[in-house]
Amino acid sequence: MGAVADYISEVRGWTESSTSQATRDRTEEFLGYFTQYHGRIFGYIFSMVPNEQDARDIFQKVCLLLWQKFESFDREADFFAWACGMAYNEVRNYFRVNSRSRLSFSQELLDTMAQEREDPEESDRRLEVLRRCLAELPQHERDLLLEVYAEGRSIREIAERRGKAAQTLYNRLNLIRRKLFAEVQQALAEN
């Protein structure tokens, strides 16, 4: 997220002109938390908002709110939980303002999604298991996953380039995802 680096530079710039050491210390403390959790905060928002650009817009608002309200943050509390509370309110506001949209989640669903967010430690564990399982896949399967998910190429584009039918690649991708899901679930159950 290049925008995050820009945001961090901007926040540091705000305090460089300040002569107060307390302000600089507060900024560094905030940036320490923010740097650690910004990816998870964005992921939390994106899990509730169907459009990535809307999620990015909400994330920018949340970043500003977190900075503005950092004075009220209890240093004994969990920063991620505090940030997610603000993010949740911004997502609710987004849906309230955009309630005429064809794709809109009910308040009940938003509440459920917010409560079901994964514990960061559990998320790290799942991610590590996924990485191990990905590494065990045959190279041609990893290549297909990378083209679709990391490079964002469409199945049609990949099919044309490889001289295959798009449906064949859809089917292969579906099988790979199922296999990977089963392997991850088994590895998690064993741990």
Domains of the chain, CATH where assigned: 2-115 (1.10.1740.10), 120-190 (1.10.10.10)
Compute the distance between CA of residue 62 and CA of residue 85 in angstroms, rounded to an integer.
10
Compute the distance between CA of residue 35 and CA of residue 27 in angstroms, rounded to an integer.
12
Of 175, 179, 180, nearest to 134 (Cα)?
180
pLDDT at 162 over 70: yes
- Cβ atoms within 10 A of the Cβ of 56, count? 15
102 vs 72, which has greater pLDDT? Answer: 72
Contact at 8 Å (CB) between 144 and 154? no
How far from the centroid of its chain's Cα atoms is residue 41's Cα?
6
Query: Which secondary-structure segment (H or E) carries 30?
Result: helix 21-46
Average pLDDT, the chain: 80
Residue type, 135: A
pLDDT at position 117: 58
Query: Considering Cα of 146, then 148, then 149, then 150, what sign does the dihedral take?
Result: positive
Contact at 8 Å (CB) between 175 and 137? no
pLDDT at position 57: 93
